Structure 1
Amino acid sequence: MSNTETPAPESREIDVRAVAPAQRHPMVFEAYAQLAVGESLTVINDHEPRGLRDEFDREFAGAFSWDPVTPIEQEYRVRITKRASTALPRVVADTTALLGHVDSSTGGSIWQLEPGARDLDSNVIALPAGDEIGLHVGPNLDVLILVLQGSGQLQTELTVLDLQQGALVWLPRNAQRRFIAGTEGIRYLTVHHRKPTLNITAAPKRVD
């Protein structure tokens, strides 16, 4: 019988003190992505990385452990251990509590899905009584809508649909739509594929 033991996974170290601030978090997340489950990454910084911790909580809540190591002079160290292979399913909002704190005159997006590494976008939209989102052509994306509270109407290219609490509505891509809130306003959840990131490029140089 062999007495050979499997060595414990090594903890990688990454020192971000000499790295530009805008590049620090992406560097840490890239290194974290390379870890196997159970492996750790020790981040060395010149201050307590609270913003990094907030970002890990947003992206990987429950899927990692965060263990500060005793700081030495200008070295602040934290050991991040990968506990699961992916982000974990989790509750991201309590719509009952959310809507319970929304003033009836509030309009616009009152909640958004936040994790950066996602394929979906989702929002809770509020329209006060009598307000509307004018007639327009929707994006090149299918959108699913669930009416959470209130009522209203959806004007399409040919018809007008009554919207009541609990209605689940499909908006085909590029379809014309106009939302009109009822006398109590309307609050609804939207879900669709994440829109492509807008890339701004410089105009081509003119050649005379």
Structure 2
Amino acid sequence: MSAPQSSANQEQEIDIRSLIPVQRHAKIFELVDNLKPGDAFVFINDHDPKPLYYQLEAEHPKQYSWSYLESGPVAWRVRIGKLPQ
């Protein structure tokens, strides 16, 4: 039997492209609210979600990391992580 993988290898990845635009930010913030320090998730979008970054930083300054894993032109993959306290 193999040992369980670390949580870094088990990050949730969610494709929000199928959601209507008004639901996208709500879904991302639901996931953000459930993160524990050190946890992260990846989301896939059909455009650059930069306005979401500004909203996240305005509501939760310096509490989350934001990393582009893919930057279009078809898909944007972004990793959001909760920083350790």
Shorter-chain TM band: 0.7 to 0.9
Q: Secondary structure at the match of 2:19?
A: coil
How far did residue 48 of structure 1 move?
Answer: 0.6
Show the counterpart of 1:205: none
User: Residues 17-28 of structure 1 correspond to what in structure 2 (within 5 A)?
Assistant: 17-28=17-28
Larger Rg: 1
Letter in 2 for 1:46: D
Scaled by the length of structure 1, the TM-score of the pair is: 0.36
> Secondary structure of 2:67's match?
strand
The CA deviation string for residues 52-99 of structure 1, in whole angstroms up to 9 with x for no partner, is 0011111111111110012365111110011146xxxxxxxxxxxxxx
> What is the TM-score of this pair, normalised by structure 2?
0.83
Give the aligned partner of residue 15 of structure 2.
15
- Structure 1 contact 14–28 (Cα < 8 Å) conserved: no
Structure 1 residue 37 displacement after superposition: 1.0
Letter in 2 for 1:76: W
Instruction: Report the alpha carbon displacement of residue 34 of structure 1 after superposing the two structures with TM.
Output: 1.4
* CA contact 2:47–2:72 (8 Å) conserved in 1: no
Partner of 2:67: 67
Match of 2:48 in 1: 48
d(CA) in 1 for partners of 2:72 and 2:58? Answer: 28
User: Moved runs in structure 1, 4+ residues, more than 2 A?
Assistant: 70-73
Structure 2 gaps, min length 5:
none
Q: Deviations over 1:133-177 (max 9, x none)?
A: xxxxxxxxxxxxxxxxxxxxxxxxxxxxxxxxxxxxxxxxxxxxx
Question: What one-letter code is carried by the residue in structure 2 that aligns with 1:32?
Answer: V
How many Å separate the matches in 1 of 2:28 and 2:37?
A: 16
**Structure 1 unmatched ranges of 5 or more:** 86-208
Instruction: Give the 3-state SS of the residue equivalent to 1:55 in structure 2.
Output: helix
Partner residue of 1:29? 29
* Shift of residue 6, structure 1, vs aligned partner: 7.0
Paired residues, number? 82
Partner SS, residue 56 of structure 1: helix
Decide which structure has greater strand share: 1
Greater fraction helix: 2
RMSD of aligned Cα (Å): 2.0
Identity, % of aligned positions: 32
Instruction: Measure the CA separation in 2 of the matches of 1:55 and 1:17.
Output: 19
Match of 2:7, SS state, is: coil
Q: 1:5 & 1:67 partners in 2: Cα distance? A: 26
User: Contact (CA 8 Å) 1:64, 1:80: kept in 2 or not?
Assistant: yes
